[in-house]
Structure 1
Amino acid sequence: MSNENFNPLELLRTKFRYPFPTLKNPHADQLQEITENQWIDGEYMWLYQNNPDLRKKYKKTKTAHIAAQWFPTASAERFRPICRLMLWTLYNDDLYEESKPDDIDDVHAQSIAILNGEMSVSQSTIPLASMLASLRQELLQFIPKESMYRFTQMISRYFSGLKKEQEYKKNKMFPTTAECIVLREDSICLYPFLQLTEVETGITLPPEIHDHPVIRRLQALACHLVTFFNEVQSVVKDEATDSIYYNIVKVIQNEHSISLEEACLEDLRLHNEDLKEFIALQASLPDFGIWHEAVVNWVHYMSMVLSGWKNISTKLDRYNAMEFPQTNELKERLSQF
């Protein structure tokens, strides 16, 4: 099958469908202004002080507008740490996308130590230390330490996934499709955001809710669904940056020796299977007693992450054009730390 007339982005627009509402936080513009002026060109300007073009690319990613689709009802005050986290995920992904696997370990350990309050910014040697320290301080205004610990565990999962990605890339080896789905479930970095619904709602659910197999499965499915969408969306970028070894579409293509279009359609099939399961679980949640209404609401918010991601990401140049930071720009900056 020829790829000559195949457009992955058109497939996303027409075939990846979500039967969920799409809402947007009314404070998006306010927090985007803070992101651009107080953070990118303020607190964290020193990271890319001599590279205004790169800072412009980060501004054009509109991280607050992405967060606004995922947390549509958060107050401006509660929305702030969520937007800081969104910017951190972008910076961290780009900084370490080209790192050696072993280098990730130290960044991982220091990041978790800062989030747990076990390391100060002055003790740290990682460039994003102050961002993480501010994030911890802001989150603890709204969630208890137990919730903060759960959030930090999910950040740890992300770093573990990131390291595995770099191992495959370093060795120029493809995982199996099943292995790649498990890997990307962690590295997509959605789990941390799914823990922060209680920042938005002000309701802290007990551990037994978080540990319930249905809730765990729904979160895993949400991660899969965003990943399946993302892989089609970023396949051109990943080919350009040699990140094909952990893009599910490219893994499928390699595993079955098929065309890019056929691999994207298989990715869509897997996506639709998981979407069907998500919808079925959402419609038949077990009885959670006094917490039932809050759990139903949480799953509802999970579903809006899916529809919201499609709604916003298909409009952003970072995900639909070659507007991502260049490898040499990032390597040069990282080498200075």
Structure 2
Amino acid sequence: MSKNITDEQFYAGLQHLPKPHYPFPDFMHPDLQRQREEYYAWIDKEYTFHSKAAREKHKSHHLTDIAARGCPFLNGIEELRPLANFAANGAMMDDYWDRCSRDEMNEVTERITALLTGEDSREPSDNGIFHQFWILRQDAIKCGMPERLYKKYIAAIHDVLRGYAEERVYYKANVPPPLPVYLIIRLDTSGGLPFCKYVAMQKNYRDLPDSVLEHPFILRMHNLCAWMIGMHNDCISLPKELHRDGDTMNIVKVMQHEHKLPLKEAYMAALELHDSYLQEFLLLKENLPPFGDLQDTASQYATDLGVMVAGVYAWHTNDKTRYVKGGYVEGEYVSQG
């Protein structure tokens, strides 16, 4: 992205358009600042393969705040770490491998999945992204994360990585996907599904059986959360993505390309789709099926899914460094594909 364009050219009047809004309160985990300090240390120790400029930009993005705002009711920093690890390292790896090939991303996915499942239990000898995902597993074990919740969590992380591979096809072609394809890929790459699974670590939700956590109503709400997160991220990152070739996995670009709309009309169409998902989420939340003695707990869990989406959005709207002119970390990996 050129740093020589003016702020007016960068934003192209988009900052005055309506923004997503969620009817849920905004909370912050009490260990937000402590988790930030650990995050700075990760970058200094683990990310030496990045340039110093990239490391400093990543520090300014405060990526672990996404976890601290999305799941503010976790017990202590011990329970926060496995989610903060995914939030930060998932974003930084996506930046680093921004222009790798689909095959290269699939290879990365296989190695990370082996580390998360314990299929490969060896601690990586090199610091960096793989080592951090190995640490994620150790931290989940240390904080006593129930195995069935952990399996749901890492399965969702695997799907995020798989989505990263599939979107590379459209990055390379520099063309937006059709809307149905976008929805399949963005469901994963938004990162919302791992957060939905981790919400069950809060309060007494880990006591909810799979008959609740895997109920079609709840799984549909998870999908709606993931799409809302992906779409509100697309709206916020749009100015940056309009000025970079290959950044085509954006709902506004999809609407613009698919319906031959002017940019601002495409933005409004994207916001309308986002808002339709929000209304469906609220309707499902108010019409949960009967869960017997677990009804109140299931209802509170559904509400905290909404708090999670609002918390992730609060990070996006409070961040003034990642999606501004010159703030994005350009991919430094040189693809061999």
TM-score (norm 2): 0.89
Give 1:149 deviation, angstroms. Answer: 1.5
Measured against aligned partners, the alpha-carbon deviations of 1:62-103 in whole angstroms (never above 9, x if no partner) come to 123222211112222211222222111112211222110111
Partner of 2:3: none
Q: 5+ residue gaps in structure 1?
A: none
Q: Say yes or no: does 1:227 pair with 2:230.
A: yes
Amino acid at match of 1:52: K
> Hey, what does 1:97 align to over in structure 2?
98
Do 1:139 and 1:199's aligned partners in 2 also have CA atoms closer than 8 Å? Answer: no
Letter in 2 for 1:193: F
Could you give the per-residue CA deviations for residues 201-235 of structure 1, whole angstroms, max 9, x where no partner exists? Answer: 35423222222110011011111111121111112
Identity of aligned residues (%): 25
**What is aligned with 2:246?**
243
**Maintained 8 Å contact 2:176/2:250:** no
How far does residue 290 in structure 1 lie from its aligned partner after superposition? 3.0
Alignment correspondent of 2:268: 265
Higher mean displacement: 16-25 or 196-205:
196-205
The whole-number CA distance in structure 2 between the counterparts of 1:107 and 1:125 is 15
Asked if 2 retains the 8 angstrom alpha-carbon contact of 1:158 and 1:186, the reply is yes
Residues 43-122 of structure 1: pairs in structure 2 closer than 5 A? 44-48=46-50, 51-74=51-74, 75-121=76-122
Other structure's SS at 2:64 match: helix
Compare 291-300 and 149-158 and name the one that shifted more: 291-300
* In the alignment, structure 1 residue 292 sits paired with structure 2 residue 295: yes
Task: Work out which of the residue numbers 32, 36, 41 in structure 2 matches 1:32.
Answer: 36
Would you say how many aligned residue pairs link Structure 1 and Structure 2? 324
Match of 2:145 among 143, 146, 152: 143
Shift in CA distance, 21/214, structure 1 to aligned 2, threshold 3 Å: same
Who is 1:16 aligned against? Answer: 20
> In structure 1, what residue type is equivalent to 2:262?
S
Q: State how far apart, in whole Å, the 1-side matches of 2:79 and 2:293 are.
A: 25
Identify if the C-alpha distance between structure 1 residues 200 and 261 changes in structure 2 by more than 3 Å, giving closer, same or farther.
same
Distance in 2, Cα, partners of 1:23 & 1:47:
34
Taking a change above 3 Å as real, the CA distance of residues 202 and 283 of structure 1, as seen in their structure-2 partners, is closer
Post-superposition Cα deviations, 1:82-132, rounded to whole Å, max 9, x if no partner, equal 222211111221122211011111111111111000113457889522111
List alignment gaps of at least 5 residues for structure 2: 1-7
CA shift in 2, pair 1:288/1:322, >3 Å: farther
Pair 1:310 & 2:313 matched: yes
* Contact persistence 1:244–1:250 (CA under 8 A): no
Q: State how far apart, in whole Å, the 2-side matches of 1:280 and 1:208 are.
A: 20
SS at match of 1:200: coil
Q: Aligned residue for 1:152?
A: 154
Q: Is the 8 A contact 2:81 2:136 kept in 1?
A: no
- Counterpart AA for 2:281: F
Shift of the 242–229 alpha-carbon distance from structure 1 to 2, 3 Å rule, reads: same
C-alpha separation between the residues in 2 aligned to 1:29 and 1:125? 27
Deviates more, 1:235-244 or 1:298-307: 235-244
Aligned partner letter, 1:304: V
| Secondary structure of the corresponding residue to residue 201 of structure 2 | helix
Q: Measure the CA separation in 1 of the matches of 2:204 and 2:163.
A: 30
Gap change, CA 1:255 and 1:272, over 3 Å in 2: same
Decide which structure has greater helix share: 1
Which of 316, 319, 326 in structure 2 is aligned with 1:322? 326
